[in-house]
Structure 1
Amino acid sequence: MANGGDQGFFLGMMASRRARERRAAGEDGQTRGGGALFNIFPLMVIPVIIYSIVALIGGQEAVSSVLFSLTMVSGEQWNLSLGDILIILGLIFLFIETVKAAGSGTATIMNHGLSMLVFVICLALFLLVGSFATSVFFILMSMTLIDTLAGFIITIVAARRDLAVAE
């Protein structure tokens, strides 16, 4: 075992673990418990849909209206608008999407495809519909682009690492 013979032991343990995971997943590759739908659904569509509803019903003024303000210790007012909350929500969902992108299964690939579709729809709305030509929507659209690019890149890196371990 001095020449790396114990490496075969660890590879065997990893292969055994993967076989157990495949058996637990069932015949169709879907994990039990319904988690596949969560993995396929692009979460960045949620803030985009909320923005769309608010912008189409109330216009740009509704997105930029101040929901509440806080007086800071310095005496300054800090105003938080609905658009600001949508950006914070988008950042939270972007983080979750980035964590989900570490997989390399079929559900992850479908998620990336749907995320790209969300970005294309956002780009079309931004360019063609007046109430979507705001800084808030541009930032949300940029987040959908980052979600798409980061998802593909992270999945490729994770798949390369899996291939390197299997060799």
Structure 2
Amino acid sequence: MLASLPLLIVPFIIYNLGLAGFFGSGINGDPWASEILSIGMMSGGVFSMTLGDLMVVIGLIFFFIEILKSTRTSNASVIDHLLSTFVFVAFLVEFLLVKGAAHSVFFTLIIITLIDVLAGFSVSIRAAGRDVNLN
């Protein structure tokens, strides 16, 4: 049952912890604009990563794992898709109703969860079509 838990709920929880002020205020009160990493490159340029960039990377890593989980063909995959849909709905409702969620990082996470839901159902339908055997 624990394997059916959608991992994209982790970025959702982390983002809401940021709204609660656990990550500081950042630039102009935006915690997601806080620079967390800066590396001088050999070209002379500087690579910098903000907390928001890190959130998107975390979301993409969990999205990759979710795509791998969606290739399972078992009864648990139906529960997994249903829970992923609930996570997407939670993202969407928060985006529409919570002022702090009106941010590009949160919107990017919404798109990642939407693609997760659509890809999960698409993979399941495709796999179910291959399981059908007509004699």
Shared fold per TM-score greater than 0.5? yes
Structure 2's unaligned 5+ residue stretches are none
Separation in 2, partners of 1:142, 1:56: 23
Secondary structure of the residue aligned to 2:43 is coil
- Percent identity over the alignment? 42
Match of 1:162?
A: 131
- Which residue identity lines up with residue 2 of structure 2 in the other structure? L
Question: Would you say the 8 A contact 1:69–1:78 is kept in 2?
Answer: yes
Match of 2:77?
A: 108
Deviations 1:28-73 (A, max 9, x none): xxxxxxxx421x1001111111011012224662122111111112
Separation in 1, partners of 2:72, 2:37: 39
Separation in 2, partners of 1:153, 1:65: 37
Q: 1:75 aligns with which of 23, 26, 44?
A: 44
Structure 1's unaligned 5+ residue stretches are 1-35
Q: How many equivalent residue pairs?
A: 130
Q: TM-score, normalised on structure 1?
A: 0.73
Q: 2:2 aligns with which of 25, 29, 37?
A: 37
User: If each structure's helix is expressed as a fraction of its own residues, which one has the higher value?
Assistant: 1
Separation in 2, partners of 1:88, 1:150: 19
C-alpha displacement at 1:159, in angstroms?
A: 1.2
Match of 1:119?
A: 88
Q: 1:52 aligns with which of 16, 20, 29?
A: 16
Secondary structure of the residue aligned to 1:70 is strand
Secondary structure of the residue aligned to 1:118 is helix
